[in-house]
Amino acid sequence: MSRKILVLPGDGIGPEITAEAVKILNACRDTGLGITLEDGLVGGAGYEAFGEPLPAETLDKAKAADAILLGAVGGPQWDKLEDISKRPEKGLLGLRKNLNLFGNLRPALLYPQLAEASSLKPDVVSGLDIMIVRELTGGIYFGQPRGIEERDGQRVGFNTYVYSESEIERIGRVAFEMAKKRSGRLCSVDKANVLEVTMLWREVMERLSADYPDVELSHMYVDNAAMQLVRAPKQFDVIVTGNMFGDILSDAAAMLTGSIGMLPSASLNESGQGMYEPCHGSAPDIAGKGLANPLATILSVAMMLRYTLNESALAERIERAVGSVLDEGLRTADIAYEGTRKVTTTEMGDAVLEAF
Amino acid sequence: MSRKILVLPGDGIGPEITAEAVKILNACRDTGLGITLEDGLVGGAGYEAFGEPLPAETLDKAKAADAILLGAVGGPQWDKLEDISKRPEKGLLGLRKNLNLFGNLRPALLYPQLAEASSLKPDVVSGLDIMIVRELTGGIYFGQPRGIEERDGQRVGFNTYVYSESEIERIGRVAFEMAKKRSGRLCSVDKANVLEVTMLWREVMERLSADYPDVELSHMYVDNAAMQLVRAPKQFDVIVTGNMFGDILSDAAAMLTGSIGMLPSASLNESGQGMYEPCHGSAPDIAGKGLANPLATILSVAMMLRYTLNESALAERIERAVGSVLDEGLRTADIAYEGTRKVTTTEMGDAVLEAF
Ligand SMILES: CC(C)[C@H](C(=O)O)[C@@H](O)C(=O)O
Ligand SMILES: CC(C)[C@H](C(=O)O)[C@@H](O)C(=O)O
């Protein structure tokens, strides 16, 4: 059986970093993994070629794929597009929505070799290992009605933050299962003291917890969660939250590690199909210079092997290879410091390949 | 002319900390400041006495006051109230809305004497001095429609994130004026790549910036702002954002200082009437034990003198008094460490009074 992988390099540093990750995918194939790779255009690259951030051809390929490896989308040249449906981000959001990739897994893991990179004190973050489970196809990102319109002689902008019980339950189960496999602790983040939609969220999480007696559920308001992530992040193991709060908290959590260039992510649907991408963005300012860190994308391949292809042994091999190049002192510019060896994007990819 | 100050102790540690701040207000009166003080009930305290978190009597007094000093509201005993309109938070939200206190100023200031308390590395936060300007009477906190209802056989929760041009302009002007008085740099935080309401926000901020040629306006997405606050907070001077994002970011920013027990806040309306309160909450776990830090509430009095009573000389006297008790090494439990002198809530209040 051969599984189909769609590679969507996207914009900015996307092509450089996915190229390194593809080397690892090819190496996996050489070990006997049954995969076939295909390419596609998305984001600004899709817009330039087809006038659409998510060309129909790309969406068709994505639907047919078992897994997608995405680089990153966006760049300043498209930020001023009047028609916002043409912006690169819409390509990403369209993929998430059309493939129903509601379950977003965002680990925030501190690599011991990179402990110095954090802006936090070592004792606050050493050993940090949080998994943020973010709902990705609902909430205020997709809620209707939305828009900008004239009311009483002035313009008004509006969006709708909405979740149904079944949407909450679906992501809740992903998070409870994750907590079960990890420490057994799950913290659900909401703003139930103000927002009705998150009161329902809290209620459904409570109800679900009866099905997971071995998971200890707690609740936290989002403002407090942002504070606690800064104050004492190691109190958390698995966090589950909605699309918007997840966007904010997962970026804050990722930055606690000081090396966002290291963090992968997975976005899954109910049949296990998944899109895998680094947590960082397209970094247009350093694109094409060989400065980008390919490790988050390479580690996204590891997540792909674990969550879609059910090849955890191979996933661990990749993760070990990354660990060993870090042990050797190899660093791209974003994580380099005195006493380490600065390497380019390609050199880093090749080093991982060799250690694999 | 005598100005009216309404003191609303609220719940938890509220009564203890406002009692210390009232000592300072009385001392100001003794120096010739024309003020009269009144008391009122709000939050859980209002609910217990009148069955309402914002009793009519309290609202009347609040409307008649020039300034309000609020302790904090909330506690576990009211979290399970079925009728959410009775929860303590609704008292706070009701005051904000009824008095039209749209301009929330939340400084995040690192006291050099407390630099050790931060979870961040000293060089990342030393000298930190950010002013967050949060819109406080609009956005998703108050947007309609909202609720939980049955749709297609299941319950759905929904809230509306809405801003009009005039609401955005009003808070924008507060922020531009603030930036003008400070460093001349203003960062507006939104999620304009996804949410229409914040596209309008960005557009209005851009338009306003023509009126403030000496202020340099920049824009940042909220997820990136959360990240940048962790990575390099000193890049910010004044931040302006909506109600929800402001709630999250101001708490994260406050926590960067490591001493949220030190941070005051002001909520102002167009006529300069204001409510002043500490950034921290009601901390029911330590209520009545003499452990609470009264300095945020005392510093809220300083903000009141500066922003509503136009007595900046007195405000500075209070701030200097706080500085000198810190210099002397006095610390409440939350900010105490080896080599400092641990004091109770009352001892701290008395020490500030003496240094005043
Ligand atoms: C690019 C943007 C639309 C996206 C989001 O907000 O979801 C990004 O920030 C992310 O977190 O993947
Ligand atoms: C208590 C709560 C309703 C309030 C808010 O969310 O505004 C608080 O968190 C704050 O920031 O003042």
Q: What is the pLDDT of residues A313-340, one digit of tens each?
A: 999 999 999 999 999 999 999 998 888 9
Nearest CA, atom 10, ligand 1: A247
Q: Are B309 and B33 in contact (CB under 8 A)?
A: yes
CB B17 within 8 A of CB B71: yes
Query: Please, are residues B2 and B32 in contact by the beta-carbon 8 Å criterion?
Result: no
Give the pLDDT score at A80.
83
Over residues A216-223, the mean pLDDT reads: 97
- pTM, 2 dp: 0.96
| pLDDT computed for residue B116 by the predictor | 87
Q: Is B332 on the interface with A (CB under 8 A)?
A: no
Q: What angle do CA B110, B112, B116 make, to 5 degrees?
A: 85
**The pLDDT value given to residue B27:** 98
Whole-number mean pLDDT of chain A?
96
Q: Which has the closest alpha carbon to A46: A9, A13, A96, A99?
A: A9
For domain A1-102+274-356, the CATH architecture is: 3-Layer(aba) Sandwich (3.40)
For A103-268, CATH number? 3.40.718.10
User: Lowest mean pLDDT: which of A79-88, A227-236, B234-243?
Assistant: A79-88
Is the model's pLDDT at A255 over the cut of 90? yes
Q: How distant is the Cα of A21 from the closest Cα of chain B, in angstroms?
A: 25
Residue A66 scores a pLDDT above 80: yes
Residues 203 to 232 of B: which have CB under 8 A from any A CB? 222-224, 226-227, 229-232
Predicted confidence (pLDDT) at residue A259 exceeds the cutoff of 90: no
Q: Which residues in chain B have their CB less than 8 angstroms from residue A126's CB? A: none
Tokens representing B50 are 């009148």
Does the pLDDT value for residue A169 go beyond 90? yes
Cis peptide before B145 (omega within 30 of 0): yes
Report the pLDDT averaged over residues A294-305: 98
Note which residues in 130-149 of chain A have CB less than 8 A from chain B: 140-141, 143, 146-148
Q: CA–CA distance from A340 to each of A113, A177, A273, B111 (Å)? A: 11, 39, 38, 35
B13/A43 Cα distance (integer angstroms): 52
- How many whole angstroms separate alpha carbon A51 and alpha carbon A103? 29
Residue ranges per domain, chain A?
Answer: 1-102+274-356, 103-268
Q: What pLDDT is recorded for position A82? A: 83
- The answer to whether A171 and A274 are in contact (CB under 8 A) is no
Q: Which residues of B touch A120 (CB under 8 A)?
A: 119-121, 230
Average pLDDT of adjacent 10-residue blocks, chain B of 356 residues:
95 98 98 97 97 98 98 92 90 98 97 92 96 98 98 97 98 98 97 96 98 98 97 98 98 93 96 96 95 97 97 97 97 91 97 98
Domains B1-102+270-356 and B104-268 are alike in CATH topology:
yes
Q: Domain spanning B1-102+270-356 has what CATH number?
A: 3.40.718.10
In short, whether B223's Cβ falls inside 6 Å of ligand 1 is: yes
Residue A148 has pLDDT above 90, yes or no: yes
Q: What is the structure's pLDDT at A323?
A: 96
DSSP string across B180-203:
HHTTSEEEEEE-TTT-HHHHHHHH
The answer to whether residue B121 neighbours chain A at the CB level (below 8 Å) is yes
CATH architecture of B104-268: 3-Layer(aba) Sandwich (3.40)
Q: What percent of chain A has pLDDT over 70?
A: 100
User: What integer pLDDT is reported at residue B1 of this predicted model?
Assistant: 75
Indicate whether A1 pLDDT > 80: no
Which ligand gives the minimal distance to the CA of B192?
A: 1
